Structure 1
Amino acid sequence: MLSLLQIKNFALVDQLTLKFGQGLNVLTGETGAGKSIILDAIDIVLGGKVNHRFIRQGTSQASIEATFLVDSSLIKWLEQQQLELLEEGTLICHRELTLTGESLRSRCRINGVLVNLQLMAQLREYLVEITAQGQTVQLMDSTRQRELLDLYGGSEILQQKKVVELAYEQWKLTEKTLEKRRKSDQERLQRLDILEYQRQELQEVQLSDSDELEQLQQEGERLSHVVELQQLSYQTYQVLYQNDRGEPAIADRLADAENLLTDMAEYDNKIESILEMVKSALTQVVEAGQEINHYGDALEADPERLTEVEERINLLKRICRKYGPSLQEVINYYDKLQVEFAELTNSEQSIEKLEKDYKIAQEKFDLACQELTKLRQKAASQLDKQLVKELKPLAMEKVIFVCQISPSNPNITGKDQVIFYFSPNPGEKIQPLSSTASGGEMSRFLLALKACFAQAEKSSGTLIFDEIDAGVSGKVAQAIANKLHHLSETYQVLCVTHQPLVAALADNHFRVEKQMIEESAQVKVEENRQLNLPEIRTVVRVQELDNLQTRREELAQLTGGHSADDAIEFAQSLLVKAEAYRLGKK
């Protein structure tokens, strides 16, 4: 249940806090007053699409925060996502929009934890369901009608749809493989010849280390300059450790420095740290001298090895030019070549084997579709009865509805075409919903359908209706009001309406209106001079009508557009009838 909505710098809203309650929550106001902005905010905070117009002019950041009280099914889902609830089963969804130049960024949080839009969209399914009259256009499409039937059928149908989807993908994969094999058998043999030649060539090279070429080049450089390296290593040894020309080596000079510092340290202990550094340097120089001496002694000219290295380098460079450019890419290519070669030479890939696989996959798909069709027929029968039951109280006592399932071309959703057939009046031939229902009838049909889904889902949450009662009046409007109130006994219902009959039954009534306010704005009057002057801005304000007088006045406005005595009297009668309706249902 949505308990609190906080909006800041969103569209025409500067700052707004709304506290919703259980039952039927109604938003009323003049056309263009900003009611849709409230619904937009709920949509956006739960992962809806955003654009620049949602940032209030003159600001660069908007934020929306929605607080929900959740049930056990959602708690289980949150545990799976490793998201903790706040105190008393509270869930807070927060979204922040930031405009930087032409770039619009958004961040979503659930109970303070940063999440992505995909996760927020999954959460949305547990929290709210938004229904608008514009959805009636979608209802005309048979594809959408099939989707609605599947959703109504629940988990059993949805699980079988996954079976059908997997079977379809496997069937099409075998079909593609078979067709490819039939069309390219000659190409396959030609390709095998090429692969065999390349495979043998690369096998003979015996590649294993992607760094081999670099290592060989380093070894070749060393073997090509053995004499120079011997001479230089000996010279280095002379400089560091032992000089044949009678000059002191670095080790000798450091030893002298060590002796001097040792004498100094007897008189000043501050010299100790310097002495330690010199001792360390002397040790390292001695070790370096010994190491370079060993290195020079170990160097040997090896013309045969040098020839081998150069030949191997030339071979690897040629292979890289042909399959590379790098040795690692050659190795990767060889791995792919092996896989392709195995696929093309696999004895199981014969045409007869592929034809058998194709037939088996097709039979599995057919069986999965048959099971899905049975489940859809069962769900359609239930929907026929329940939808008629839901429509009758909506001034459609003689309505006929049939969810017809007929064969269609196989696809990833099965082999069924679903079409809603509808006859609203006695004596009229049953026809597809898309060619029969009027605007008012479609509104009632959509509301009844939503009632069917609400019962099928068997879960609590918030149902949002955006002017679902548009285009109706009188008895039909009263029937819609009663249906909305009936839904609100199980679910929290949030409804935007222009119908006083609907508003009269509200448990919580909010009036939305636009107001003009003054805001401080900087205005440049001269060069390098600015003044803070008042600026007239339009903002959306929402007032909760929590007493009889304010509700009566708002209903009068909805009824007659003014607060004349006759409108007030009619509004009072609506409130009396609404209270009587509530008491009669208890």
Structure 2
Amino acid sequence: MIERLLLKNHLSFEACELEFQNGLIVFTGPSGAGKSVLMQGMLSVFGYGEAQADVIEATITQKLGLEAFGFEEESPNVFKFLKAKSARYFINAQSVSKKALSDISRTFLSSLGVKDSSEFDTKRLIELLDGVCASHEATHLQNVAHFQTLFQEYVTLKNELESVEAEEKKIEDLKEFARFEIAKIDEVSPKVGEDEELLSFKKSLSKKEKIEQAMQKASEIFALESSVYEALHLMEADAAFFDACINELRLIFEKQSDTLEALEEIDVENLLDRIEKISQLKKRYGSIEGALEHRTKRQEELARYENIAFEKSRLEKALAKYESDVTALAQVLSQKRRLHVSALQEHLNAYLSQLYMPPLSVNMQEGTLSEYGCDVVQIALGKVDLKKISSGEYNRLRLAFLAVQNTFLLSGGGVLILDEIDANLSGKESMSVANVLKQLCTRYQIFAISHQPQLSSRADQHFLVAKQGSTSSVRELQGEERMEELARMVSGEHVTDEAKQFAKTLLESAKS
């Protein structure tokens, strides 16, 4: 249960710290005082909606199985929201994303807002029906989980086959394009490092004539070689250095002559054409290596295109097997659901009877195969369109579903948060809502906003939300104060003696 709630600078609430007991906890007060604001603050620390406060902190006394989500379990578990430069959520001082927080919170907390009608969706109805089935047959939920895994694998295979079939329709174009790209690369047949080698040749060609002219002039040094030796001899100088230099120079000239001779054999037009072709490949693929890698990839694709008929046949056989298995298991689930759909109907109608509502019928029909099987579950309230029933009837219908959901889907207990579940009801109807909630609060801690004295009189804790100027406050009521608040709810701002007596009667009745 939620043991403590702390809010700081939450919209109209500057600060409040509340301690809660188990059971039914009701918040009352004039319209606009801040009851829904307070409730939304509580929900937001658990990842429901946007947090508007600077600080929100809630402590939970029950074990939540946090280890399964990668968090350490503590006693109590502390949920916290802080807004500084950015909004951050924590569980037991460990940072947590909002999505992970809401996933964890759904395991122990349910919320029913004023505009929430999702409990009538086929998905939710099937989940509820599966919960009823599981209460009679322990292996049912294991079969549901197995079916969902199998169905997901079936969908994956089906998508793969559809992709192959789409490729098959345009296979000739794809094959032609792959061959075209391979041929364009093969036409050039580039080699790694060839571009640098060609550019080096181009650079040498551009300087060939100047090098030849310079070498011709410089070669005159060899005609003067003997004169240099003679001069050095007369000067009694060591000629070794000159001998080494002239030999090195001769080697350089010979090597360059060989290079120039090789350049004479080069077809300049072909060289420039090849440089251009390799440049185009590099421009398209980034590098010669990139072009060769792309060629390999296209060859692999071409091989796959050539084998697509085999791949399609393999997928069709595998899909047929999966479809057979999935359909068979869906039929098993459907049979179990049909066995227990009447039990779900009975549980719902048992609560509806307490709530002074006419019985409903739960109908199963065969539908399109989905992750929930081949069943469509719908409810009907006689011949009345659910969209046209009054808000009071709608809320009581939702409460019946909520009660059954928490019996079969949240059997381990938890927290229920209800926003004006008794709105627009008569006194008798409001009391029926209170009685159902009192049954539920033997296992669940229930928070409810109410404008009706009947529900409020049954509360284990009663909090009054008030507003002074632009600032809201909340405090727990006891004894005489609580009777005064119930009387205000009966007669308005001007509390009458009759209203006080009625409030007193309600409180005494709640104790008996």
TM-score band by shorter chain is: 0.7 to 0.9
Which residue is 1:419 aligned to? 378
- TM-aligned CA deviation for residue 34 of structure 1: 0.6
- TM-aligned CA deviation for residue 508 of structure 1: 1.2
Change (3 A) 1:354 1:170: closer
Which residue is 1:493 aligned to? 446
- TM-aligned CA deviation for residue 355 of structure 1: 5.0
Paired residues for 1:356-395 under 5 Å: 356=317, 359-378=320-339, 380-395=341-356
Which residue is 1:68 aligned to? 60
Q: 1:236-292, CA deviations, whole angstroms, 9 ceiling, x for partnerless residues? A: xxxxxxxxxxxxxxxxxxxxxxxxxxxxxxxxxxxxxxxxxxxxxxxxxxxxxxxxx
Q: Higher relative contact order by CA 8 Å / sep ≥ 6: 1 or 2?
A: 2
- Tell me the TM-score normalised to structure 1 length: 0.67
Which residue is 1:440 aligned to? 392
Q: Does 2:78 correspond to 1:116?
A: no
Does structure 2 retain, via aligned residues, the 8 Å contact 1:44–1:95? no
How far apart, in 2, do the equivalents of 1:5 and 1:314 lie?
74
Match of 1:452 among 390, 404, 410: 404
How far apart, in 2, do the equivalents of 1:207 and 1:122 lie?
56
Change (3 A) 1:440 1:320: same
Read off the aligned partner of 2:40 and give its amino acid letter: D
Which residue is 1:320 aligned to? 282
Q: 1:133-163, CA deviations, whole angstroms, 9 ceiling, x for partnerless residues? A: 4224x45655654465457667443553343
How far apart, in 2, do the equivalents of 1:14 and 1:473 lie?
35
Paired residues for 1:503-518 under 5 Å: 503-516=456-469
Read off the aligned partner of 1:568 and give its amino acid letter: K
Q: Does 2:75 correspond to 1:92?
A: no
Deviates more, 1:441-450 or 1:378-387: 378-387
Q: 1:459-482, CA deviations, whole angstroms, 9 ceiling, x for partnerless residues? A: 222111111111212222111111
Does structure 2 retain, via aligned residues, the 8 Å contact 1:64–1:96? no
Structure 1: stretches of 5+ with no match in the other structure: 56-61, 99-104, 229-292, 423-429, 517-537, 581-586
| Secondary structure class of the residue paired with 2:8 | strand
How far apart, in 2, do the equivalents of 1:152 and 1:539 lie?
47
Q: 1:357-394, CA deviations, whole angstroms, 9 ceiling, x for partnerless residues? A: 55445434433432343344345333122222233322
Paired residues for 1:92-491 under 5 Å: 92-96=79-83, 105-136=86-117, 138-139=118-119, 142=122, 145-146=125-126, 148-149=128-129, 155-156=141-142, 157-178=144-165, 180-181=167-168, 184=169, 187-199=170-182, 202=185, 303=259, 316-321=278-283, 323-327=284-288, 329-330=290-291, 333-334=294-295, 336-346=297-307, 348-349=309-310, 356=317, 359-378=320-339, 380-396=341-357, 399-422=358-381, 430-431=382-383, 434=386, 437-456=389-408, 457-491=410-444
- Tell me the TM-score normalised to structure 2 length: 0.76
| Secondary structure class of the residue paired with 1:489 | coil
How far apart, in 1, do the equivalents of 2:402 and 2:315 lie?
47
Does structure 2 retain, via aligned residues, the 8 Å contact 1:108–1:117? yes
How far apart, in 2, do the equivalents of 1:208 and 1:458 lie?
71
| Secondary structure class of the residue paired with 1:470 | coil
Read off the aligned partner of 2:70 and give its amino acid letter: Q
Which residue is 2:36 aligned to? 36
Which residue is 1:550 aligned to? 481
| Secondary structure class of the residue paired with 2:30 | coil
Which residue is 1:27 aligned to? 27
Identity %: 25
- TM-aligned CA deviation for residue 82 of structure 1: 3.1
Read off the aligned partner of 2:335 and give its amino acid letter: K
Read off the aligned partner of 2:380 and give its amino acid letter: Y
Change (3 A) 1:347 1:448: closer
**Runs of 4 or more above 6 Å deviation:** 203-209, 217-225, 304-313
What is the Cα-based RMSD across aligned positions, in Å? Answer: 3.8
How far apart, in 2, do the equivalents of 1:350 and 1:374 lie?
36
For these two proteins, the number of residue pairs brought into alignment is 455
How far apart, in 2, do the equivalents of 1:403 and 1:140 lie?
11
- TM-aligned CA deviation for residue 434 of structure 1: 2.0
Which residue is 2:230 aligned to? none
- TM-aligned CA deviation for residue 492 of structure 1: 0.9
- TM-aligned CA deviation for residue 435 of structure 1: 5.9
Which residue is 2:17 aligned to? 17
Change (3 A) 1:415 1:120: same
Does structure 2 retain, via aligned residues, the 8 Å contact 1:463–1:492? yes
How far apart, in 1, do the equivalents of 2:479 and 2:152 lie?
56
How far apart, in 1, do the equivalents of 2:315 and 2:14 lie?
66
- TM-aligned CA deviation for residue 420 of structure 1: 0.7
How far apart, in 1, do the equivalents of 2:345 and 2:481 lie?
43
Does structure 1 retain, via aligned residues, the 8 Å contact 2:157–2:315? no
Does structure 1 retain, via aligned residues, the 8 Å contact 2:81–2:90? yes
- TM-aligned CA deviation for residue 441 of structure 1: 2.7
Q: Does 2:47 correspond to 1:47?
A: yes
Structure 2: stretches of 5+ with no match in the other structure: 135-140, 212-247
